[in-house]
Structure 1
Amino acid sequence: MEGEDEGSNVEFHEDEEIIEVIELNDGDPSPEDVASELEDIEVADGDHGASDEEWETEDEGIDETTEPMQDDSEVTFSKHSGLVFCVSLDPKNNTLAVTGGEDDKAFVWRVSDGELQFEITGHTDSVVCASFNHESSLVATGDMNGIIKVWRVESKEEIWSFEVGDLEWLDWHPCAQVLMVGTTQGSSWMWKIPSGECKTFQGPSCPSTCGKFLPDGKRAVIGYEDGTVRFWDLKQGNAIHVLKGHDGHLGSLTCVAVNKDGSLVLTGSVDSSTKLLNTNTGKVVGVFLIEGKPPRKPETDEEEEEKEFVSVESVAFCNVLPLIAIGHLNGMLAIYDISTQTLRHHCQHETGIVKVLWEENSPLVYSCSMDGTVRLWDARSGKLVNKYGGHTAEILDFAINREASVMVTAAGDGKAKVFCLQRPDR
Structure 2
Amino acid sequence: MDNTQENQIELHGDEEIIEVIDLNDTEPCPDDLADDLGDVDFEDAGNADNDEGWETEDEMEAEADQDDSELTFSKHNGSVFCVSLDPATNSMAVTGGEDDKAFVWRVSDGEVLLECTGHKDSVTCAVFSHDSSMVASGDMSGMIKVWKIETKEEIWSFEVGDLEWLEWHPCAPVLLAGTDDGNVWMWKIPAGDCKTFQSSACQATSGKVLPDGKRAVVGYEDGTVRVWDLKQGNAVHVIKGQEGHKGALTCLACNKDGSLVLTGSVDGSAKLINTTTGKVVGEYSVEGGKAKGSRDEEESNSVESVGFCNVLPLVAVAYLDGTLAIYDLSTHVLRHRCQHEAGIVHLQWEESSSVVSTCCLDGALRLWDARSGNMVSEYRGHVAEVLDFTINREATLAVTASGDHQAKVFCLQRPDR
TM-score if structure 1 supplies the norm length?
A: 0.84
Q: Which residue is equivalent to 1:26?
A: 27
Contact kept, 8 Å, 2:180 with 2:204, in 1: the verdict is: yes
Q: Which residue is equivalent to 1:62?
A: none
Q: Which residue is equivalent to 2:392?
A: 401
Q: Which residue is equivalent to 1:343?
A: 334
Gaps of 5+ in 1: 1-23, 40-66
Gaps of 5+ in 2: 1-24, 42-62
- Provide Cα deviations, 1:184-233, integer angstroms capped at 9, x if missing partner: 00101000111111110012111100000000000000000011000000
Q: Which residue is equivalent to 1:70?
A: 66
Q: Which residue is equivalent to 1:317?
A: 308
- Provide Cα deviations, 1:365-392, integer angstroms capped at 9, x if missing partner: 0010000001000000001000011000
Contact kept, 8 Å, 2:37 with 2:231, in 1: the verdict is: no
Deviation at 1:69, TM superposition (A): 5.6
Contact kept, 8 Å, 1:325 with 1:335, in 2: the verdict is: yes
Question: Match of 2:180, as an amino acid?
Answer: T
Q: Which residue is equivalent to 1:187?
A: 183
TM-score if structure 2 supplies the norm length?
A: 0.86
Question: Match of 2:392, as an amino acid?
Answer: N
Contact kept, 8 Å, 1:151 with 1:159, in 2: the verdict is: yes
Contact kept, 8 Å, 1:212 with 1:257, in 2: the verdict is: yes
Say which structure, 1 or 2, has more relative contact order (CA 8 Å, 6+ apart).
1
Question: Match of 1:105, as an amino acid?
Answer: K
- Provide Cα deviations, 1:383-403, integer angstroms capped at 9, x if missing partner: 100001100000000011111
Contact kept, 8 Å, 2:64 with 2:383, in 1: the verdict is: no
Matched, 1:272 2:247: no
Q: How many residues align?
A: 370
Matches within 5 A, 1:103-114: 103-114=99-110
Deviation at 1:133, TM superposition (A): 1.1
Deviation at 1:31, TM superposition (A): 5.8
Q: Which residue is equivalent to 2:361?
A: 370
Matched, 1:37 2:39: yes
Structure 2 Cα separation of the partners of residues 72 and 38 of structure 1: 48
Q: Which residue is equivalent to 2:122?
A: 126
2:401 aligned residue (393, 405, 410): 410
Deviation at 1:423, TM superposition (A): 1.4
Q: Which residue is equivalent to 2:295?
A: 303
Contact kept, 8 Å, 1:38 with 1:234, in 2: the verdict is: no
Q: Structure 1 residues 332, 248: CA separation in 2 closer, same or farther (over 3 Å shift)? A: same
Structure 2 Cα separation of the partners of residues 34 and 91 of structure 1: 22
Matches within 5 A, 1:89-100: 89-100=85-96
Q: Structure 1 residues 79, 283: CA separation in 2 closer, same or farther (over 3 Å shift)? A: same
Matched, 1:380 2:376: no
Structure 2 Cα separation of the partners of residues 245 and 37 of structure 1: 36
- 3-state SS of the aligned residue for 1:308? coil
Q: Which residue is equivalent to 1:391?
A: 382
Moved over 6 A (4+): none
Q: Which residue is equivalent to 1:50?
A: none
Matched, 1:196 2:192: yes
- 3-state SS of the aligned residue for 2:295? helix
Q: Structure 1 residues 414, 281: CA separation in 2 closer, same or farther (over 3 Å shift)? A: same
Contact kept, 8 Å, 1:38 with 1:217, in 2: the verdict is: no
